[in-house]
Each structure stands twice: as C-alpha cells, then as structure tokens.
A and B are shown apart, each in its own frame.
Chain A
Amino acid sequence: MTRFRLREPRIDGDALRRELQAHAAGGFCCFEGWVRDTHAGRAVLRLDYQAYERLALREGERIAEEACARFAVVDVRCEHRVGTLALGEVAVWIGVAAAHRDAAFAACRYLIDEIKQRVPIWKREHYADGDSGWIHPEPRD
C-alpha cells in the first residue's frame, strides 16, 4: 500500500478521494496546497519542484504510517507534485478518512506539517522580474 506518492504532471484529487471512500469512515478531510502568485512581496509566475525520489517516497510513507498510528483514522493519502507548476495548480494533496472529524482534522494537519518539514522536496520560484531561486528556509526557533 502506498499512501505517499510523487506525481507529474497533475494531481487528480477526485481519484484520490475515491481511494479513501469506505463505509467505516464518517468523514473526510482534505488539504490542497496551491501555487500562489506572490512570495514575500514578489510576484511569482510559476514553480519547479524537485525531489530526491528514493528518500522522499520512503520518508513520506513513514509520515503516513505515523499519522495512521497516532490518530483514529481509516486511511490517508498524500501526493506531492514534481516538475513545473503554473499558478493555481495543486502542489500537494492530503486526504484523511476517519470515523469522526477530530481525528480527520488532526491527522490532516499532522501530515502537511511533517511533509513540509521532512520530505526531501525543493521549490524553485520564478519571479515576474525574470529572477528565480530555490527556497531553502532558515531553521525555525
């Protein structure tokens, strides 16, 4: 069972949602990350995502297993884009099916937070002024 995948070109949220449908589930919580047109005040035209696929798949799957162990969920799915993305495209998709909403919301939040912190995927922003750059966040206090 793969609960975490890398996807190119397009994430199909409807198909992912269908994978999670189950009679044991009383609810479904989804988070989609979208490509936004600004970053730190600069106009963004498009993004590139690059992944260390071998480790990204392993770490993403580990995070999904953690979510299933920590929260009372039926199942989870996560997909992250690689390649070039236009404004408005789905960059990351997180879905959780659970018997009750508290676990669904909590697991969804856990998954997106851990993926952003731990999975070896990098974003390059292309700006309207012609510049571009990889985003390497400073460590959080």
Chain B
Amino acid sequence: MTQRVTVLYFASLRDASGCAAEEVETAATDVAALYAECRARHGFVLPQQRLRAAVDGAFVPWTTALHAGAEIAFLPPVSGG
C-alpha cells in the first residue's frame, strides 16, 4: 500500500534535490523510512541523525507514522540568528 505525501526541502537539501517541495507516492510507513527513500533518490549527504523532522508544521519524532496528504519537512541543522 502506498500513499501520497508532500515533502519540503530547505537549505542544502533544497539545493541537492533541486526543488523546494515534491509530491511523492511512498510505501514508507514512518518519517524515518521516508527520509531514507528521499536520501537515496537525491543523494543527500546529511544522515538522519543530524536532521529534525516535521509533519504538518510541527516537530515530530522519526517514528511518526505517515498519513495520506501529510506535509513532511526534513530540517537540516539550523543557522538563524
């Protein structure tokens, strides 16, 4: 079973993927598995351990289950200020 979700990329992940957002049809069941898929497809250098994940605009643990239509963001280490 697959479901369709939107993935958002920022900073170095946006440059590496060449897009700010993409719709993906995925068999991943949680956020960590989805990052592994996206990392393999785009060749992201950053390991999951250095990122935080967000679903629908809120920080979540990597074990969070995906739902159809979710907006998932993979957040590299931040550098504001």
Which A positions have Cβ atoms within 8 angstroms of B?
A: 33, 49-52, 54-55, 58-59, 80, 91-92, 112, 115-124, 133-139
Contacts and interface: CB of A to CB of B under 8 A. Distances in A.
Task: Give the dominant DSSP class at A's interface.
Answer: mixed
The 8 closest A-B pairs by CB, nearest first: A121-B80, A116-B81, A122-B11, A135-B79, A54-B57, A136-B77, A134-B11, A123-B79
A55 B8 CA distance: 12
Nearest to A125: B79
B14 to A, nearest CB: 8
A16 B38 CA distance: 41
Contact of A124 (B11, B52, B54): B11
A122 B80 contact: yes
B59 A55 contact: yes
B81 A122 contact: no
